[in-house]
Chain A
Amino acid sequence: MKPLLTVNDVTIRFPAANRLAARLSGQPRFIEAVAGVSFALEAGKTYALVGESGSGKTTLARAIVGLVPTHGGRIEFNGERISGLSENRLRRVRREIAMIFQDPLGSLSPRLKVRSTLAEPFTVHGETAGIERKIIALLEDVGLPAHFAERYPHQLSGGQARRVAVARALALRPKLVIADEPTAGLDVSIQGEVLNLLRDLQAKFGTTFLMISHNLNVVRHVADRMAVMYLGRIVEEGNTAAIFAAPRHRYTRALLSANLKPDPDHSAPLIEVEGETPSLLKRPSGCEFHPRCIFSLAVCKQQAPKEQIDAGHRFSCHNPG
């Protein structure tokens, strides 16, 4: 089956904050927030991007929806290149790809009633026929009563705002929905509700999801496949179940071991990761995880590990677990 979305060797660069200082100190003038990332998304499935803050997940998602220009590589949607398109040519594709942003309230225009927010996708794409009915139907889809159409964002709770954002994303029945931390800033009970809502809508409309999260319990619950990102690269990629069962990359192992299980008696050995994420301006040599990895070998300092593929499970590590 042909993938719905392919990301092929995509690189995203930003100019360094202070170009003059960068030039004087011999540091690179650009940072690569995403450095050569490839993966493919099958239609109707959920794919998760996992990683620490600053690993490039959100940047990559924004590049897919065309908010951030790519510097190299190719993004294809439905077999058609969408990276590097002009705003006008992107407009047609934007009907098919929707994005749910991190901040539940911040992604709703503060002076617009829920009605106007939900009407926007239709008006932008010129489908104003029966709009009132469609708005009510959308609210129903996400489990909100019809009178919520009259509310302003500041009159909504976090969970309700999130539901409105989901409703807006699904308004045009997009093929692909990118959800950036769909559970961020929500109570645990509401997190569950939102995830179940997304799952139900996926079953109902066959939507494909690309989910960004650092909540591993969420990923395990919803994702079919996942990729672990570190410093703008994918270090491990594969089926969620396979990765959770047997992570190969040392970084993934550490990440998973730091994930708490809802079981008070469970005590897994915590693999410690020393130090902080290195600066993107000064990438470590060889394997970029080596300064923080307790399993690092001499070769890790010199050589970047080659990507190995083992039954659809990719990883890049010299000393895999």
Chain B
Amino acid sequence: MRDSTFGRIIREPMGALGITLVVLIVLGALFAGFTGYNPAKLAMRERFLDPSLSHLFGTDHLGRDLFTRVLFGARIALGVASIATSISFIGGLLLGMIAGYGPRWLDSLLLLFFDSLRSFPTVMLALALVTLTGPSLGAVILVVVLAMLPGYARVVRAQTMSLKSSEFVLSARTLGARPWRILAIHIMPNLSGPLVILVSMDNPVVITIEAGMSFLGLGVRPPTPSWGSILNDGYAFIRESSWPAIAGGLPIIDPRLRRDG
């Protein structure tokens, strides 16, 4: 079964491209330390080098190897994506189940909370938050969680409410099962499937948010490499060399492809 799913994805051109990119990025992130360069070490004599065998993507305005920086950027991107989506997944699952199964007033309260969070444009939310906390990786994760969690919670809530009146839940109730048992044993296993799909579809969006925030200088602090900050540096120095902008921009386009694939 797994084989055939994989086979089907691989046969689609977009799917094959997507999988290749995912594998490349994950491998790149894993082996980022093996390029022979320090992503933060300055080498002022090697600024704006064009791509060559020793610098696959060239170097940036401080002479840092762009290839290494992009790979380390993948680490940040994937790290933020996995941490933030896990938190939103778990939080959305818990809050959604409470809203869907709990008393009416709690449901209304949580809905108010979800909907007011969702009504903020992500970038505005990011700006406001960073004003309060200062730019950091934690702020990026917080923004992503706040942007993603309400959506998941809403989906979970709707599902929980329909499961709540299904006969297998009612029969568990007539047996005398307590609410937490019903939620954990009868409702949660029937929710996680759709939610996992939703969350993995959103992974690229999370990566774009991270890159976007770093581009605006709201995310990770220099000299830590991130696709967004690489792109921003490239953008600032685009008159000297276009390579940094390309190196920072390419991987950000890629999540879009993967999402479609």
Nearest CB on A from B169, distance (A): 8
Asked if A109 meets B175 with Cβ closer than 8 Å, knowing A102-B167, A103-B167, the reply is: no
Residues of chain A within 8 A (CB-CB) of B177 are 120, 124
Whether A67 pairs with B167 at a CB distance below 8 angstroms is no
Residues of chain A within 8 A (CB-CB) of B173 are 67
Asked if A101 meets B171 with Cβ closer than 8 Å, knowing A90-B176, A106-B166, A110-B190, the reply is: yes
Whether A109 pairs with B174 at a CB distance below 8 angstroms is no
In the assembly, what is the distance between CA of A121 and CA of B173, in Å?
10
Question: Chain B at the A interface: mostly helix, strand, loop or mixed?
Answer: helix
User: A-contacting residues of B (Cβ < 8 Å)?
Assistant: 166-168, 170-178, 181, 185-186, 189-190
Closest to A95 in B: B176
Residues of chain B within 8 A (CB-CB) of A95 are 176
A98-B174, A111-B190 are known; give 13 further A-B pairs, CB within 8 A: A62-B170, A90-B176, A91-B176, A94-B176, A98-B175, A101-B171, A106-B167, A106-B168, A109-B168, A110-B190, A120-B175, A124-B176, A124-B177
Does A107 reach chain B (CB closer than 8 Å)? yes
Nearest CB on B from A108, distance (A): 6
Residues of chain B within 8 A (CB-CB) of A107 are 167-168, 170-171
Whether B185 pairs with A67 at a CB distance below 8 angstroms is no
Whether A125 pairs with B167 at a CB distance below 8 angstroms is no
In the assembly, what is the distance between CA of A94 and CA of B172, in Å?
11
In the assembly, what is the distance between CA of A102 and CA of B185, in Å?
22
Whether B174 pairs with A94 at a CB distance below 8 angstroms is yes
Nearest CB on B from A123, distance (A): 8
Residues of chain A within 8 A (CB-CB) of B166 are 106
Nearest CB on B from A166, distance (A): 12
In the assembly, what is the distance between CA of A201 and CA of B154, in Å?
45
Nearest CB on A from B6, distance (A): 24
In the assembly, what is the distance between CA of A108 and CA of B185, in Å?
12
Whether B176 pairs with A125 at a CB distance below 8 angstroms is yes
